[in-house]
Amino acid sequence: MRSRQRVFAAVMRLLLKCLRLGRRRRLKLVRQAEQLWGYWHLCLRSLLYNSFTNSDVVLDSLFEPVYWLVDHVTRWFGVVFVALVIGLTSSIVAIVYICLLPLILQTYTPAWICWHLAYGHWNLIMIVFHYYMAITTSPGHPPQAKDDLTGVSICRKCIAPKPARTHHCSICNRCVLKMDHHCPWLNNCVGHYNHRYFFSFCLFMTMGCIYCSISGWEMFRDAYAAIERMKLLEKERLQVAANQTYYQTPPPTFSFRQRAFHKSVVYLWVLCSSVALALGALTLWHAALITRGETSIERHINRKERQRLQKKGKVFRNPYSYGSWDNWKVFLGVDVPRHWLTRVLLPSPHLPHGTGLSWDLPPCVTEQHAPLLAL
């Protein structure tokens, strides 16, 4: 207690001494403090000064730990996401074979049975093939030797040649040819060599989910009503047991197989409908990008370039766009009419046009569209 009083008294004496200083002394101390603050402020600005610094740079710097965390979490959780896709898809296929297929064979006409068997298995084969190719095919990386490439820039992160349309993936820590994005559900980058596999997987998975949702709508309604009826009868059975009215006939009980069947149908319809909505929106987004001949990254670059040139009264044209129809032919690798069957409607491991290092006019393009400006 006495020590606290002594400290408090010492502080008060020091404060009184400062107040007793003359006016000149106080002004001198204030000037010295201002000079010292100005000196350290100048040193700090000289060490951190950057003429390109703005609010966006400061915001990116503050979010750099968040970016680092997301990159590393995405890298390690990619295997989990792939396992989740395989597990959910396998569960839907198992429910269809165990629960729905016997019902279809018993109640549908032969024509409808042939349709469901043919379309369902074709859709499943296309989903499995394109997903396997998307996760196992390398998106493509530029060579490290500078002599092999001409007229390219240098990546600031990996200090290697960076051809046109190539971008650095912070998750894979490599440059990717014609990079679209890093997909955690593939645990792989989407680039020049597997972009078609990724889009085809999204398309056929959406088609399969829509097919299951439409085909199983009546079954879903019946299964949902049966589950509600189960809950009601279970409640009545508990009330009868509690009242001990032995003269009443207890409500019938449902077997485990019946419960599992109805719940599996509800699970199938809810999951397929949810995936159809979410993945369908993503598929439409990428379809619009393919129609314009650009990737997800190039969309942002082209938009900024278009706005910049618009202020100058100029028009921007994407140098990698050959027109809507030709963009789809280039993307899908359709050179002749029969390729729509052999390369689009059937599994095909054909390579895309070009090597991803240079972008010459593909042979399937009917007319060359000369760009006004290059990226």
* C-alpha angle 140-195-361 in degrees, rounded to nearest 5: 80
d(CA 204, CA 196): 12
Contact of 298 with 306, CB cutoff 8 Å? no
Which residues neighbour 102 within 8 Å (Cβ) at sequence distance 6 or greater?
A: none
Q: How far is CA 227 from CA 232, 234, 242, in A?
A: 9, 10, 23
Catalytically annotated residue among 99, 172, 175, 183: 183
Give yes or no: 183 in active site.
Answer: yes
Bridge partners for 190 per DSSP: 181
Please identify every residue annotated as catalytic: 183
